[in-house]
Amino acid sequence: MTTLRPLRTGIVRDLRFLDHVTADGHPENPGRLLSIHAALEDLMNEISLAEIKPRRAEPAEIELIHSPDYLRALASTAGKEHCALTPDTFTSPGSYETVLLAAGGMCEMIARVVSGELDNGFVLLRPPGHHAERNRAMGYCLVNNIALGAMFARRYLGLNRVLIVDWDVHHGNGTQHIFEDDPSVMFFSLHQYPHFPGTGVFTEIGRGPGEGYTVNIPLPKGLGDAEYRMLFETVLVPLALEFEPELILVSAGFDTHREDPLGGMRMTPLGFAGLTRSLMRIAERCCRGRLVLGLEGGYNGAVLGDCVRAVVSELSGSTCSDLSEPPSKKHRKQVARAVSRCFHVHRRFWKTIQP
């Protein structure tokens, strides 16, 4: 049984993240953050949160994961009216400054958590990042903030092992590709499949020295809180404990919510809080509680704030969400098939996940 205790939780939020402006009707719009800010106002009257101001990332930091040519191309959009980088990914006059602040905010939060000033934190940034590849934007994403955070922790803070967990409904192709040959970063993703971007099958396991450190669990639509919890406890927990990360980072997308227009999953705010609690327990056992989340997807503004509020409440120790409801018989079979397939692919790399 987990004993509730107050934790030093930080949040990065800044109105300048609203300066990345997309076209009317675009799912990734400033209103997403406004709904989060509104939901957190009441919570901040109940609990103590440390508000961390983002700094501008240095070009050398961003070039840890993105090519200089790509960074120059992004910089060239500053001050210009809407530029289309892909059919669904755009910049506005303030976008370049916004991505610098988002990347710098991620690095700043990680530095505070690794130093012990904070126990954990949530970076409420936009635009999202996990689809961004080394040389190009993709899927609303310009700079891969979570990948940058992992590399920043490795290069500047001296950490040897970082675990990235991606629970967004879409596969984090950019994050996977950046680290697919790097055994110092484990990438673990649960995602709806088939779905955009079409990557993330079981057999994508990394390459060369990174083989086995990319773990993908593609899932059919319709799964919810109980199924995600079972996958976390059955697959992620033993893998993470064997990997022994010194920091856990999360691509926290909320488009697996049952009312999200771009997904087909059935998660609820309680479910996201439960996944957060599971990660907190892993972090307590492996890395002195070091856990940092970065906002990714989530495109229903009416529920996005509730999801983030539930997660922040969990991070702060105000709640302890233990999900005990078992999956339905139908969904138990789907989860069992996913676990069996994952174990079959990865059993030669990890002792703790033998069938």
User: Is 110 inside any structural domain?
Assistant: yes
Whole-number pLDDT of residue 355:
66
* H or E element, residue 293: strand 291-295
Rounded to whole angstroms, the Cα distance separating 68 from 62 reads 9
Rounded to whole angstroms, the Cα distance separating 142 from 145 reads 9
Find the range with the poorest average confidence among 39-53, 105-119, 155-169, 271-285: 39-53
Asked whether the predicted pLDDT for residue 189 surpasses 60, the reply is: yes
Round the average pLDDT of the chain to a whole number and report it.
Answer: 96
Instruction: Return the structure tokens found at 46.
Output: 């109940």
The tens digit of pLDDT for each residue in 214-270 reads 999 999 999 999 999 999 999 999 999 999 999 999 999 999 999 999 999 999 999
Amino acid in the structure at residue 140: Y
User: Is 1 inside any structural domain?
Assistant: no
pLDDT band at 69 (very low <50, low <70, confident <90, very high): very high
Whole-number pLDDT of residue 3:
55
Rounded to whole angstroms, the Cα distance separating 28 from 138 reads 13
Asked whether the predicted pLDDT for residue 160 surpasses 80, the reply is: yes
* 8 A C-beta contact, residue 208 and residue 235: no
Percentage of residues of the chain with pLDDT beyond 70? 99
Instruction: Classify residue 34 by burial, with Cβ atoms within 10 Å: 0-12, 13-18, 19+.
Output: middle
Instruction: Return the structure tokens found at 205.
Output: 């396991």
Q: Residue 248: which CATH number? A: 3.40.800.20
Write the Ramachandran bin of 344: left for phi over 0, alpha for psi from -120 to 50, otherwise beta: alpha
Query: By C-alpha distance, which of 341, 355, 296, 335 is closest to 205?
Result: 341
Whole-number pLDDT of residue 286:
97
User: Is 145 inside any structural domain?
Assistant: yes
pLDDT band at 1 (very low <50, low <70, confident <90, very high): very low
171 has catalytic annotation: no
Asked whether the predicted pLDDT for residue 327 surpasses 50, the reply is: yes
User: Is 4 inside any structural domain?
Assistant: no
Length of the chain: 355
The tens digit of pLDDT for each residue in 113-154 reads 999 999 999 999 999 999 999 999 999 999 999 999 999 999
CB atoms within 10 A of CB 90: 23
pLDDT band at 42 (very low <50, low <70, confident <90, very high): confident
Q: What 8-state DSSP symbol labels residue 118?
A: -
Amino acid in the structure at residue 211: E
User: With the C-alpha atoms ordered 126, 130, 136, 140, is the resulting torsion angle positive or negative?
Assistant: negative
Number of domains in the chain: 1
* 8 A C-beta contact, residue 295 and residue 288: no
Rounded to whole angstroms, the Cα distance separating 320 from 322 reads 6
**Catalytic pick among 66, 131, 171, 346:** 131
User: Is 2 inside any structural domain?
Assistant: no
pLDDT band at 100 (very low <50, low <70, confident <90, very high): very high
Whole-number pLDDT of residue 324:
77
Write the Ramachandran bin of 298: left for phi over 0, alpha for psi from -120 to 50, otherwise beta: left
* 8 A C-beta contact, residue 129 and residue 294: yes
* 8 A C-beta contact, residue 325 and residue 225: yes
* 8 A C-beta contact, residue 274 and residue 320: no
pLDDT mean over 319-342: 91
Owning domain of residue 169: 9-353
What is the rounded radius of gyration, in angstroms, for the C-alpha atoms of the chain? Answer: 19
* 8 A C-beta contact, residue 99 and residue 11: no
CB atoms within 10 A of CB 91: 26
Q: What 8-state DSSP symbol labels residue 232?
A: I
Q: How far is CA 318 from CA 238, 249, 274, 275, 309, in A?
A: 26, 21, 13, 15, 11
Asked whether the predicted pLDDT for residue 2 surpasses 70, the reply is: no
Q: How far is CA 244 from CA 147, 162, 175, 214, 254, in A?
A: 19, 9, 20, 15, 26
User: Is 24 inside any structural domain?
Assistant: yes
Q: What 8-state DSSP symbol labels residue 236?
A: I
With b for 16 or more beta-carbon neighbours within 10 A and e for fewer, the 120-159 pattern comes to bbbbbbbbbbbbbbeebbbbbbbbbbbbbbbbbbbeebeb
